[in-house]
């Protein structure tokens, strides 16, 4: 479900029009997240850590309006909810894409994610929900505690789907952190919106045990 954005009364109209035609309108930030509580929860409940990261990321992104706004057929629209596709590693160390349908709680989302990964590993395809823009594109790089990240792109100014990547978690001073990269189209949102998303996600990760 979606509705048109009233551009004339959108407080970001001038920003949208300024960045819309940029050849490279994307900006990217990479920050660390404290996942100590999340790791403890996943280990105690046999929940996929990667799926849990995506679950709380999706919950947070859907609370920020700008993360649900897209260009679709030349029209600016706001979706009621956005979902996820993710890269998955194959046994031969190549990768493909996987669609992860939303589930309303962490346990069922984790179970559904495991089933989806098994299904899409057999498909070995990049053609996953390609007709949709009500998505966030996720990547997971559990081998690298990266401090910056850049996605491959065709520099299509009409590509307004956010891209989020999670890296390898590491331990320091008794706490665990994980890098997250957030790449978005500047016509859709600004740094303040990414900041709100990261802040909300961190708070959800710290309170994750309360969701069960």
pTM equals 0.95
As for how many domains the chain has, the answer is 1
Task: Give the pLDDT confidence of 33-67 residue by residue, as tens digits.
Answer: 999 999 999 999 999 999 999 999 999 999 999 99
Residues 35/165, Cβ–Cβ less than 8 Å: no
- CATH number, domain with residue 62: 3.30.559.10
133 lies in some domain: yes
Range of the domain at 176: 25-211
91 lies in some domain: yes
101 lies in some domain: yes
Cα distance between residue 211 and residue 141, in whole Å: 26
7 lies in some domain: no
10 lies in some domain: no
Q: Please tell me the predicted confidence (pLDDT) of residue 21.
A: 87
Task: Give the pLDDT confidence of 109-165 residue by residue, as tens digits.
Answer: 999 999 999 999 999 999 999 999 999 999 999 999 999 999 988 778 779 999 999
120 lies in some domain: yes
73 lies in some domain: yes
**C-alpha distances out from residue 1 to 21, 113, 203, Å:** 27, 23, 28
Residues 60/200, Cβ–Cβ less than 8 Å: yes
């Amino acid at each position: 479900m979606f509705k048109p954005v009233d551009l004339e009364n959108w407080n970001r109209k001038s920003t949208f029009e300024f960045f819309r035609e940029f050849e490279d309108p994307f900006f990217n930030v990479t920050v660390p997240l404290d996942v100590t509580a999340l790791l403890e929860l996943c280990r105690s409940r046999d929940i996929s850590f990667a799926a849990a990261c995506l679950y709380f990321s999706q919950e947070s992104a859907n609370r920020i309006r700008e993360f649900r706004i897209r260009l679709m057929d030349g029209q600016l629209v706001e979706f009621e909810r956005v979902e996820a596709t993710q890269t998955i590693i194959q046994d031969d160390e190549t990768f493909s894409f996987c669609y992860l349908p939303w589930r309303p709680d962490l346990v069922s989302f984790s179970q559904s994610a495991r089933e989806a990964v098994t299904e899409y590993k057999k498909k070995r395809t990049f053609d996953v929900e390609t007709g949709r823009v009500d998505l966030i594109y996720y990547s997971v790089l559990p081998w690298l505690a990266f401090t910056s990240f850049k996605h491959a792109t065709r520099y299509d100014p009409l590509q307004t789907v956010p891209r989020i990547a999670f890296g390898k978690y590491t331990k320091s001073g008794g706490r665990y952190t994980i890098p997250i990269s957030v790449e978005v189209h500047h016509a859709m949102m600004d740094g303040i919106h990414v900041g709100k998303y990261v802040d909300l996600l961190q708070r959800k990760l710290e309170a994750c045990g309360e969701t069960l």
